Chain A
């Protein structure tokens, strides 16, 4: 296996891990908060929510997965270009919606799916931008 193929393969594995960690993390946070119930915006309500989140196993598992996501993301962008890693972030919105249906049994209408697809395409376009547009710090051409 050539160096380029090896790099592509390990980056793809890391991107896959990144998506799994991000989606699992968000799902666990959502599950934990559903168990805690509606948070009231008042001093006692927020204090109760804060104490409940600290004691929630699901929330800690969610945080653990989100730390895993950050580590995988940092590793992936250190191996490959941002433009190669970024589309995974855009499609994450669709994957998350799918998981919400499958794992949390949420009902998602066709209209909401249209919104999700527009967001995915929009995020993809926003990400396809030059990494530096404000200054040219490289050496001058000879």
Chain B
């Protein structure tokens, strides 16, 4: 059970970190100018030169593999609901890293997700 919780924390940190880095990097790259093959190639080349993308990719790969490991350790009915912990970390990241204004409704949602994940994990992670 402890190893499931530790791997879940690793998954959530890698996933949220990867998505934040990807989002930050793609904002620097900007959107493709058109959907013609040459414009798309230029877009991919520009993205490949962005260092944030190279931070994001290993983090997202690690999050994918940690999810696979979780599937080998615990039932799907535990792993998938518990993966909603992303919303908890994401909201704290939005509030304290990105300085977003988090509404009361959103905090209430986070509390419900924390309660739900705690109950799901308590029912068995093996």
Chain B residues 48-87 with CB under 8 Å of chain A are 65, 67-69, 71-73, 75-81, 84, 87
Question: What DSSP secondary structure best describes chain A's contact surface?
Answer: helix
User: Which of A30, A38, A41, A119 contacts B112, CB < 8 Å?
Assistant: A119
Q: Does A128 contact B (CB under 8 A)?
A: yes
Give every chain B residue within 8 A of A129 (Cβ-Cβ).
Answer: 102-103, 105-106
CB-CB nearest in chain A for B90 = A126
Q: Provided the pairs A116-B81, A125-B112, A129-B106 are in contact, do residues A111 and B71 lie with their beta carbons within 8 angstroms?
A: no
Chain B residues 84-121 with CB under 8 Å of chain A are 84, 87, 91, 98-103, 105-106, 108-120
Give every chain A residue within 8 A of B68 (Cβ-Cβ).
Answer: 29, 32-33, 39, 49, 53, 59
Q: Quick check: B71 and A123 within 8 Å, CB to CB?
A: no
Q: Does B2 contact A (CB under 8 A)?
A: no
The docked-state distance in angstroms from the alpha carbon of A39 to that of B79 is 15
User: Which of B75, B114, B124 contacts A100, CB < 8 Å?
Assistant: B75
Give every chain B residue within 8 A of A111 (Cβ-Cβ).
Answer: 119, 122-123
Q: Quick check: A119 and B116 within 8 Å, CB to CB?
A: yes
The docked-state distance in angstroms from the alpha carbon of A49 to that of B66 is 11
Q: Does A122 contact B (CB under 8 A)?
A: yes
Q: Quick check: A134 and B72 within 8 Å, CB to CB?
A: no
**Other contacts beyond A33-B69, A37-B72, A122-B111: 17, CB < 8 A:** A26-B80, A29-B67, A29-B68, A32-B71, A33-B72, A38-B72, A38-B73, A49-B69, A93-B84, A100-B80, A101-B77, A115-B115, A116-B77, A121-B109, A122-B112, A122-B114, A125-B112
Q: 30 A-B pairs, CB-CB below 8 angstroms?
A: A26-B80, A30-B71, A32-B68, A32-B71, A33-B68, A39-B69, A49-B72, A50-B65, A96-B81, A97-B76, A97-B80, A106-B75, A106-B76, A112-B78, A112-B119, A112-B120, A114-B119, A115-B120, A116-B120, A119-B81, A122-B84, A122-B110, A122-B112, A125-B109, A126-B87, A126-B113, A129-B105, A130-B101, A133-B102, A134-B100
